[in-house]
Amino acid sequence: MSAFRPLLSFRYGIFDLDGTLIDSVADTDNVYQELLKPLGITDSLDKTLASALTSTRLVDRLRDTFARHGTPISLAAAEELRAEYQRRFLARDYPLCAGAGELLNALHASGMKLFGSSAASDAIVWKRLVHGGLGHLFKLAYGSVATPKGQRHLDIFAETVGEEPNDFAAQAFLCGDTDMDMKMAKDAGLYAIGVEGTMSASALLAAGADRVVRSLTVLLADTE
């Protein structure tokens, strides 16, 4: 864990979306079960898998689930189910997490450049941001269709503001709700802020979080 840094000491802020800014994770299991029930499959999607909507983890989970039920499916069939899952998830609207709008507006007003990095599709990213009235606050927000969430997102953000990746990382934090977010931040040299909910504080700290907060309202207090 790094030494505490005030939020306004950063020039750049990177935010995950689902489970961090958008209160959608609790509903992902409902979408998943609705998808599988007509196929005669019963399974539940845990919160950490729900945060990886476009990753191979969800495809692997689908294939494992069908295999356990004695009806193995191909990789192509699992990819189609994942795409249908995303379509259903996209069709739903969700509220912002507590403090999200206020925090982003405060950071934007301070002059901080904001970025979004999500494992969901580009369409989901922009629908969520527009629906939440947040789109205009972001310098750039990326989903994971053409470019999967990871280091390449961070490189693109750095290029956008004319910074070398290492210089960008030294001036940026990444705020997310999963171990994947914390690992992404730490691997790139960013300050990692974990938000409890999808995962426990201990799990986020074990994954490399420099700071863990109960909600974004705690971070909002840093801007006052």
| Tens-digit pLDDT profile for residues 182-204 | 999 999 999 999 999 888 999 99
pLDDT band, residue 45 (cuts 50/70/90): confident
Give a yes or no: residue 1 inside a domain: no
113 and 199 within one domain: yes
What is the total count of domains within the chain?
Answer: 2
Same domain, yes or no: 151 and 201: yes
**CB of 134 closer than 8 Å to CB of 107:** no
Half-sphere exposure of 182 (CA within 13 A, CB side): 25
Last residue of a domain, one of 91, 112, 143: 91
Q: Check residues 110 and 58 and name the one with the higher pLDDT.
A: 110
Give yes or no: residues 106 and 87 share one domain.
Answer: no
Task: Output the pLDDT for position 144.
Answer: 85
**What CATH number is associated with residue 73?**
1.10.150
- What are the φ and ψ backbone dihedral angles of 15, each rounded to 5 degrees? -125, 135
Q: Is residue 157 part of a domain?
A: yes
Distance in angstroms (rounded) separating the CA atoms of residues 106 and 32: 35
Burial group, residue 122, by CB count within 10 angstroms (0-12, 13-18, 19+): middle
* Same domain? 154 vs 127: yes
Tell me, what CATH number does 173's domain have?
Answer: 3.40.50.1000
Q: Residues 216, 155: one domain?
A: yes
Considering the domain boundaries, does residue 106 fall inside one?
yes
Q: Residue 70: inside a domain, yes or no?
A: yes
Instruction: Supply 74's token pair.
Output: 């191909």
- In this predicted structure, what is the pLDDT of residue 94? 92
Same domain assignment for residues 108 and 177: yes
- Tell me: do 103 and 209 sit in the same domain: yes
Closest alpha carbon to 156 in 137, 138, 136, 133: 138
Residue 2 lies in a domain: no
Residue 53: pLDDT over 70: no
- 14 assigned to some structural domain: yes
What is the torsion angle, in degrees rounded to the nearest 10, for the CA atoms of residue 200, residue 138, residue 147 and residue 11? -70
Structure confidence at residue 52 (pLDDT)? 55
**120 and 217, same domain (yes or no):** yes
The verdict on 16 and 29 lying in the same domain is: no
Domain edge (last residue) among 62, 91, 120: 91
pLDDT at residue 21, as a whole number: 96
Residue 200 lies in a domain: yes
| C-alpha separations of 182 from 20, 119, 190, 206 in Å | 12, 14, 9, 9
Full-model pTM = 0.88
Q: Domain range spanning residue 207?
A: 7-24+94-221
Asked if 67 and 113 sit in the same domain, the reply is no
